[in-house]
Amino acid sequence: MRKISDTIARLAALQARHAAFPSDLGAPNRLSALARFGSNPGALTAKFYLPDNLPEGAPLVVVLHGCTQSAAGYDHHSGWSQLADEAGFALLYPEQQRSNNPNLCFNWFQPADVKRDAGEALSIRQMIEAMVRTHGLDRKRIFVTGLSAGGAMAAAMLASYPDVFAGGAIIAGLAYGSAKTVPEAFDRMRGHGDPSDEELRRMLRDASPHHGPWPRISIWQGTSDQTVAASNAEAIATQWWGVHQIDGTPTQSLAEGRNARQFWCNASGEVVLEVNMIAGMGHGTPIDKNGYGTPGPYMLDVGISSTQEIARFWEIADGEARPSARSKRGDIVAYSHPPVGSRSNAGPRIPAGSPEESTAPKREPSPASGVQKIIEDALRTAGLMR
C-alpha cells in the first residue's frame, strides 16, 4: 500500500508544476460566450468561434483545454481559430470553472462526469447541439480534441458519444474509464495499474448503445512526458482496436523528423487510427511557431503543428493524403521507445468498477479532519478532487 507521505509528496510536486504555469489570462481572446445551451448538469461554461462568411453545413471542432488553462489561452497558443479562418470550420470551447475543479481540470476521473447523458459529458453534448442548431453546422463532421485532462475528457466524449463524432484527437490524455478514483488517476498518469486490454475494450463498448461506424482517432504523446506516461497512448490505441476490428500491427510506420507515426487501416483501406510519438517532448501540445500556434505553458514548440496535422487527419483542412491499406505494409522505422502494441503485461491489473448513476448537481466535499483532511486539501489544490 502506498504511504501517505508518498501521496502527499506527489501532490506537492503536481501543485508546484501547476503554480509555475498559471492560466494564460493575458492571451488575445477571439472567442465569444455561448450563453444558453441546456440544463448544464456539469456546471461548465462555453466559448465559440465562427470565421467570417462561414458556409452552411460547415464542420465543428470541439476543443478541450488542459489544467490551469483557459479556452482563450488554449485557442491563442494552439492556433485553432487561425486554421478555422483558413479552412472554414466552427470551434466550440467548453471551459471548466474553479468551483468544479480548483486547477480548471475537466473531471475525467469522476464517473458521474464522463458517463453518457450525465455531468460534464452531458453539458458538452448540450453545447454541441446548441452550436449545430444555431449555426447550421454539419452533424456528420463533428470532431473533438483536448490536452491532458482535456485529452482524457475528449476520450470520454468519444467513448460516451461515438454517434456524435466523426473523429477525435487525444493529446497526452488517458483511456476512457481507466481511472474512477483519485488514487487510480495518479497511478494511471504514471503508467501504473492499467486495466487489462480486454477490460479497456469492454468499457468502450459498454459506454454507449452505439454499434458503428466509429470515430477516427488520432493520438499524440511526448516520449519525455513526466506528467502523463507514454504508456497511456498505447492504452488508448488498444482500447480502440476492438471496435475498429484491427489488431496491434500497424498498416504503416513512418519517421517524420521527431515524430514516429503509426497508422492502422480498416478492411476498406481507410485510416481509422494513428499514433504520433514525439521524441524528447514533455507534457503539452506540439506546436510550430512558424505555422500555427504560439509557445506557452504546456504549448511546446517542437516544429510540429498538431493542430494542422489533426485537421488534415480529419480531412477538414488541406494536406497530403494519409497512408492507406494499399501502402506497403511493414515500413517499420527504428524507435527509441517500444512501438504501440507492445504494452507490457507486467504489474498489477486493476479492473475498473461500474460508473456511478448520478446526474446530480456538483456537491461540496464533506468535512474531514486530521491526516484525511491534509490529503483532501492537497487533492483539491492539485485539481484531483472537488
Q: pLDDT tens-digit profile of 25-34?
A: 566 799 999 9
Which set of grid coordinates corresponds to residue 260? Answer: 514516429
pLDDT over 80 at 135, yes or no: yes
Which set of grid coordinates corresponds to residue 236? Answer: 488508448
- Alpha-carbon distance of 358 to 17, in angstroms, equals 32
Closest-CA residue to 221 (of 279, 263, 302): 279
For 53, other C-beta atoms within 10 Å of its C-beta total: 7
Q: What is the mean pLDDT of residues 122-151?
A: 98
Which of 16-20, 136-140, 278-282 has the lowest average pLDDT? Answer: 16-20
Q: How confident is the model at residue 255 (pLDDT cuts 50, 70, 90)?
A: very high
- Confidence at residue 342, expressed as pLDDT on a 0 to 100 scale: 47
- Confidence at residue 182, expressed as pLDDT on a 0 to 100 scale: 84
- Confidence at residue 335, expressed as pLDDT on a 0 to 100 scale: 33
- Alpha-carbon distance of 114 to 109, in angstroms, equals 8
- Confidence at residue 208, expressed as pLDDT on a 0 to 100 scale: 98
pLDDT over 80 at 11, yes or no: no
Contacts of 3-12 with CB under 8 Å at 24 or more apart are 4/371, 4/375, 7/183, 7/186, 7/375, 7/378, 8/374, 8/375, 8/378, 10/186, 11/375, 11/378, 11/379, 11/381, 11/382, 11/384, 12/378
CATH topology of domain 4-381: Rossmann fold (3.40.50)
User: For residue 130, how many C-alpha atoms fall within 13 Å in the half-sphere facing its CB?
Assistant: 22
- Confidence at residue 346, expressed as pLDDT on a 0 to 100 scale: 30
Closest-CA residue to 362 (of 72, 34, 122): 122
Q: Give the CA-trace dihedral at 126, 131, 136, 137, to 10 degrees.
A: -90
Task: Determine the residue type at 140.
Answer: K
pLDDT over 80 at 163, yes or no: yes
CB 339 within 8 A of CB 326: no
Percentage of the chain modeled with pLDDT above 90: 73
- Alpha-carbon distance of 366 to 176, in angstroms, equals 27
- Confidence at residue 320, expressed as pLDDT on a 0 to 100 scale: 52
Reduce the DSSP state of residue 268 to 3 states and report it.
coil
pLDDT in tens, 338-373: 446 545 433 222 222 222 222 233 433 333 334 445
Q: What is the mean pLDDT of residues 181-194?
A: 93
- Confidence at residue 318, expressed as pLDDT on a 0 to 100 scale: 87
- Alpha-carbon distance of 248 to 259, in angstroms, equals 19
- Alpha-carbon distance of 19 to 4, in angstroms, equals 22
User: For residue 89, how many C-alpha atoms fall within 13 Å in the half-sphere facing its CB?
Assistant: 26
- Catalytic amino acids? 148
Task: Tell me the average pLDDT of the chain.
Answer: 83
Which of 31-45, 183-197, 300-314, 325-339 has the lowest average pLDDT? Answer: 325-339
- Inter-CA distances, 35 with 52, 104, 124, 131, Å: 20, 19, 13, 11
Q: How confident is the model at residue 92 (pLDDT cuts 50, 70, 90)?
A: very high
- Confidence at residue 14, expressed as pLDDT on a 0 to 100 scale: 53
- Alpha-carbon distance of 363 to 386, in angstroms, equals 8
Whether cis (ω within 30° of 0) applies to the bond prior to 111 is no
- Confidence at residue 28, expressed as pLDDT on a 0 to 100 scale: 78
Which set of grid coordinates corresponds to residue 313? Answer: 487527419
pLDDT in tens, 97-128: 999 999 999 999 999 999 999 999 999 999 99
Which of 102-106, 295-299, 318-322, 331-335 has the lowest average pLDDT? Answer: 331-335
- Alpha-carbon distance of 267 to 89, in angstroms, equals 30
Backbone torsions φ then ψ of 259, nearest 5 degrees? -95, 115
Q: How confident is the model at residue 146 (pLDDT cuts 50, 70, 90)?
A: very high
- Confidence at residue 377, expressed as pLDDT on a 0 to 100 scale: 54
